[in-house]
Structure 1
Amino acid sequence: MTGSGLSNQVGASVAALAFPQLGPAGVVAVRQWVAAVVLLATARPRLRGFTAAQWRLVLALALVFGTMNLSLYSAVDRVGLGLAVTLEFLGPLAVALAGSRRRGDLLCALVAAAAVVVLVRPRPSTDYLGIGLALLAAGCWAAYILLNRAVGARIPGIAGSAAAAGASGLAYVPVGVWAMIAHRPEPGAVLAAVTAGVLSSAVPMLADLLTLRRVPASVFGTVMSVNPVLAALVGWVVLGQRLDVLSWVAIGVIVAVNVAAVTGPNG
């Protein structure tokens, strides 16, 4: 589980190295293609057997999947890996809190909101667009969780998720082609984008499938809650993006709230 999270964040940092030549959209296109190849090869869904209702869910999931990654990588490009991933984590946190009936979770939500204010600390130099993109990624992640549940309930196995990844990868073909023509990236940048796709899509997807067969969902959610910390550490080591003490405290509070949410009776 820790390896999955670390792989995801290292992949995002490698993706950031390719931004100057490919741009976030070009890197996301390559990532979507890698995810499509891995999931389609693993699941081998029978696409002709899908009903119209199933296809509507699959296409909605594909749209959310593609938007989530594009908004996250655009946010990473503007505000850094640690802040972007921490704000994105508000998505699954909101889903966990919304599904809870514990009174204490209202306090958790308020504490998380206060931590976000401390983390963002609005001031004249604040990149509000970058923060907005990270929050858009959070909303997409919340929608992704809910749609994945709906797809999983109506389509056996991971066939629905694989079909969604394939549709998203197909939609990004024009974006990727445009990025290659417009930016004319060096082979190293393309290799970095492919590596990011493998580390952030292929490795976590397969690792999570194996992990969820062996550990309870609450334990999985608890360990995955440390992703913002991993993102901040990787951003510091790989990209040189340093955070101050208050930012580290705010990230720690958000992680603690998320752990409390996923380990509760309704988590």
Structure 2
Amino acid sequence: MDTLEVTARTPDTPAGGPQHSPGTATSRRRGAGVVMMLASSASNQAGAALGASAFPVIGPVGVVAVRQFVTAIVLTPIVRPRLRGLRKDQWWPILGLAVVFSVMNLSLYAAIERVGLGLAVTLEFLGPLTVAIAGSRRVLDIACAVMAGVGVVVLTNPGPTTDLIGIALALLAATAWGSYILLNRTLGQRLPGLQGTAAAGLVTAAAWTPIALAWFALHSPTAAAVALAVACGLLSSIVPYVADLLALRRVPAQMFGTFASINPVWAALAGWGLLHQALDLNEWIGIGLIVVSNVLISARGFTSSDERVRAAVLKDIAD
């Protein structure tokens, strides 16, 4: 899953210079931001479902390869990443992101093929949740971690028939997403805007070229399968990139994180509607526990952000 990591850039200063501060945005602008966030998450999961529809012909490897190419083809001419003259401390997170992109998408799609879209995406969401909780000693954060752990147990319902490989692949995707957040945060401090992400996407596409040639030589693609994979790349990468950037100009990062929690729900609905993957009651309960734990973590930061905004406004009035 490609997502714009909100901590890589302070959303109050979007690309193109200061415009409207999300902390003081009008209710109309925030409403537009919320719509964009919902559209982004829905597009992301609908794209994943379309990509999964191509698995019988080209498999997860083929879908990931096409998706990487689509991302690079669209982002490169728009962002125009400059690879020449990059310093060593800029290159290593770019190369790290290229590895993480590959591991994250391939392991997620392989998990989707085995355990379904809703379960795979929900388990993958443990990655950013772990990053948010890591190092915290607050009682609420620890309680949220425990709630998420309970959610995983309820969701996966361990037993003799449990697909342990599929769950392990989803957890690998979660680990990769957590690494993506940390690497993207570092890269966002060393390169402006989407330069780092676009450069990593270009490097990833180059690395996948020989893999794709070998794979498609053994797995003949059909026009329909390639079209589904292209749609996956557009809906799961390009649309979320644009929608997230526009949304972050209108809402605080913490609100963005809270609404991102709806991704597992969209994934479950997309899996049910497009892939005919129904969820049992225990799976819905597990998804709910993990989503609520993430919402609580994000909402705590949102409350702190609001308090800082109010304090700044009161200071301006006092001055």
TM-score (norm: length of structure 2): 0.82
Alignment of 1:188-199 (within 5 A): 188-199=224-235
What residue in structure 2 maps to residue 40 of structure 1? Answer: 76
What residue in structure 2 maps to residue 7 of structure 1? Answer: 43
CA contact (8 A) 2:150 2:289 kept: no
Equivalenced residues, count: 267
CA contact (8 A) 1:26 1:175 kept: no
Displacement, 1:99? 5.1
The CA distance in 2 between the partners of 1:126 and 1:174, in whole Å, is 35
What residue in structure 2 maps to residue 153 of structure 1? Answer: 189
Gapped regions of structure 1 (runs ≥ 5): none
The CA distance in 1 between the partners of 2:136 and 2:271, in whole Å, is 33
What residue in structure 2 maps to residue 75 of structure 1? Answer: 111
- Structure with max Cα Rg: 2
Q: After the TM superposition, which segments of 4 or more aligned residues of structure 1 sit over 4 Å from their partners?
A: none
Alignment-mate amino acid for residue 290 of structure 2: I
What residue in structure 2 maps to residue 242 of structure 1? Answer: 278
CA contact (8 A) 1:115 1:250 kept: yes
Q: For structure 1, which segment, 93-102 or 123-132, has the greater mean C-alpha deviation from structure 2 after superposition?
A: 93-102
Displacement, 1:144? 0.2
Gapped regions of structure 2 (runs ≥ 5): 1-36, 306-319
Q: Are residues 1:61 and 2:110 paired?
A: no
The CA distance in 2 between the partners of 1:179 and 1:239, in whole Å, is 24
What residue in structure 1 maps to residue 162 of structure 2? Answer: 126
CA contact (8 A) 1:4 1:207 kept: yes
What residue in structure 1 maps to residue 5 of structure 2? Answer: none
What residue in structure 2 maps to residue 177 of structure 1? Answer: 213
The CA distance in 2 between the partners of 1:173 and 1:186, in whole Å, is 18
CA contact (8 A) 2:82 2:199 kept: no
The CA distance in 2 between the partners of 1:229 and 1:115, in whole Å, is 14
Q: Are residues 1:51 and 2:87 paired?
A: yes
Q: Determine what percentage of the aligned residue pairs are the same residue.
A: 56
SS in 2 for 1:28: helix
Displacement, 1:135? 0.1
Displacement, 1:9? 0.4
TM-score (norm: length of structure 1): 0.97
Instruction: Select 2:130's aligned residue among 79, 90, 94.
Output: 94
The CA distance in 2 between the partners of 1:54 and 1:222, in whole Å, is 30
